[in-house]
Amino acid sequence: MDISQEIAELKRRRNAVILAHNYERGEVQDVADYTGDSLELARRAAGVEADVIVFCGVYFMAETAAILNPGKTVLIPDESAGCPMADMITGEQLRKLKAEHPGAKAVCYVNSTAEVKAECDICVTSGNAERVMRTFAPDEEIIFVPDQHLGSHVAGILGAKYILWPGYCPTHAKLTPGMIEQARLAHPGAPVMVHPECPKAVRDIADQVLSTGGMCKWARETDAKTILVGTELGICHRLAKENPGKTFIPVAEHLICPNMKKTTLEKLRDCLVNLSPQVTVPPAIAIPAKRAIDRMLEVS
């Protein structure tokens, strides 16, 4: 039996579902029941019937699944797979910021810890941020954490001004306008899609600024045959698999999120064997954090 068959057999025995983010290794995406962006995976996690959820992604994503499913076992194949951006603000720092702006609403990107979500009125993902932020009055005072780039991207679209936290994604921060220009020179006419976590100078010269789920949809619908991809390399596996007639070229080969790559088939199998590592969130944090996630799912 090869390892993929072992995983399928264990999955059946454990009554488990495997969710994988679009940046995971190709072989991990291939054994998953669902591959998607943070929003799609949160929606899946909210409607799961299986007893066990194996989350192949980074820690905050598994934590979100645990918050949405208090009675279920949530496993993460490698519990050291964190998101550095999520760790750029603590609950304590957010409480201090809120105290400095007593009338402000607090919004967090889903790339945040459960403790930070518990302090927020609502959560957003890159796939629904614009839609969710439209629910606020244009003149409302809003704290947006932790991603300064997603925050400034949405504020720019809506003509709003948010109190931004200086968090950022170290992987997307590596992308520069010069890399986009070079890729364009090498592939004239090919559209460029980038993630909203990219710096403004990069977003400003891209053709499309999309969540990873948005990129998969746009790539399916466009007539373009060659597309330049300005985000983590893992997504190219899914893009190529779903669009056999199209070519996807990474803008930069070194755009790799080391944490997304920590999940291997071996670790995935082992966590199903051992039912460990499990992700749990204490109710005092999970209950208020769930309110912020539920509000987001209601409006998006």
Residues that bind ligand SF4 (CB under 6 A): 58, 83-85, 111, 169-171, 197, 232, 257, 259-260
Closest CA to 222 of 212, 208, 205: 208
CB 50 within 8 A of CB 15: yes
Give the residue with the Cβ less far from ligand 13P, 21 or 72.
21
Q: Contacting ligand 13P (CB under 6 A), which of 24, 37, 78, 115? A: 37
Among ligand SF4, ligand 13P, none, partner that 84 touches (CB below 5 to 8 angstroms by kind): ligand SF4
Among ligand 13P, ligand SF4, none, partner that 259 touches (CB below 5 to 8 angstroms by kind): ligand SF4
Distance of CA 197 to the CA centre of its chain: 10
Listing DSSP states for 63-113 in one string gives HHHHHH-TTSEEE-S-TT---TTGGGS-HHHHHHHHHHSTT-EEEEESSS-
Q: 86 Cβ partners below 8 Å, 6+ apart? A: 58, 59, 60, 111, 112, 113, 116, 146
Q: Contacting ligand 13P (CB under 6 A), which of 11, 20, 22, 118? A: 22
Q: Contacting ligand 13P (CB under 6 A), which of 64, 69, 111, 152? A: 111
Annotate each residue in 193-222 with x if it binds ligand 13P (CB under 6 A) or - if it does not, as one string.
--x-x-------------xx----------
Annotate each residue in 164-183 with x if it binds ligand 13P (CB under 6 A) or - if it does not, as one string.
-----x--------------
CB 278 within 8 A of CB 75: yes
Please report which helix (H) or strand (E) contains residue 196, including its range: none
Among ligand SF4, ligand 13P, none, partner that 81 touches (CB below 5 to 8 angstroms by kind): none
Give the residue with the Cβ less far from ligand SF4, 207 or 232.
232
CB 88 within 8 A of CB 50: no
Please report, as ranges, the residues that interact with ligand 13P according to CB under 6 A: 22, 37-38, 111, 125-127, 169, 195, 197, 211-212
